[in-house]
Homo-oligomer: A and B are copies of this chain.
């Protein structure tokens, strides 16, 4: 195994074992390199790799720190990976979302706060009747993010966030090619919100399923 890979493993080990805790500062590059028995150049490769996946946070002029290691932060790296998938796997991502999102929406139905409900309502009102496609998609993303956040499971939240990336582009196409997509989306959002307000988990789950299934159906027929 290459020295750089060893260094990655060792740093990982220090974090997992608790020797380095979230927010801790690493020794400076030259010291750490000496400590791990490799050159500064090779160590930098290891640090850079861990920094890409948000394990380490490197600040020029300051030092290198262990991140908070929050699921939210770490799963951000997922979206980077997801970006590499071609269109032929979008359907598979969507299928996973179709499983997770209804479940998250149902969970949110029993946990979401009144303030959050009001905020979501205000957001939908602000969008108006016939928004631009870009606004709609952005709002759509925000809407679902808000709901999933209320599920109370940060892993679930981050996972859906990462998975939503590839389907976002698809939704833009849809808005451009399907006439009633805008009105339909708005209608379904209202329905989901109403179900949440009623604390009706099953209705919320069903509307979320319908919502995603409609995107999936369109995508499947147009590929």
Which residues of A come within 8 Å of B, CB atoms?
4, 8, 12, 15-16, 41, 44-46, 48-53, 55, 69, 71, 74-75, 77-78, 80-86, 89, 92-93, 95-96, 99-100, 103-104, 153-156, 159
A158 CB, min distance to chain B CBs, angstroms:
10
Asked if residues A53 and B71 are in contact (CB atoms below 8 Å), the reply is no
Asked if residues B45 and A159 are in contact (CB atoms below 8 Å), the reply is no
Asked if residues B95 and A155 are in contact (CB atoms below 8 Å), the reply is yes
Q: Please, which residues of chain B bring their CB within 8 A of the CB of A46?
A: 48
Asked if residues B92 and A156 are in contact (CB atoms below 8 Å), the reply is yes
CA distance A81 to B54 in the complex (A): 9
CA distance A71 to B81 in the complex (A): 9
Kindly report how many copies of this chain are found in the complex they form together: 2
A7 CB, min distance to chain B CBs, angstroms:
10
CA distance A71 to B90 in the complex (A): 11
CA distance A216 to B99 in the complex (A): 19
CB-defined A-B contacts under 8 Å, sample of 27: A4-B48, A15-B84, A16-B84, A41-B41, A41-B44, A45-B45, A45-B48, A45-B49, A48-B48, A48-B49, A49-B49, A49-B52, A53-B77, A55-B84, A69-B84, A69-B86, A74-B82, A78-B81, A89-B154, A89-B155, A92-B154, A95-B156, A96-B100, A99-B100, A99-B103, A99-B156, A100-B100
A32 CB, min distance to chain B CBs, angstroms:
15
Residue from B15, B83, B156 in contact with A16 in the complex, judged by beta carbons closer than 8 Å = B83
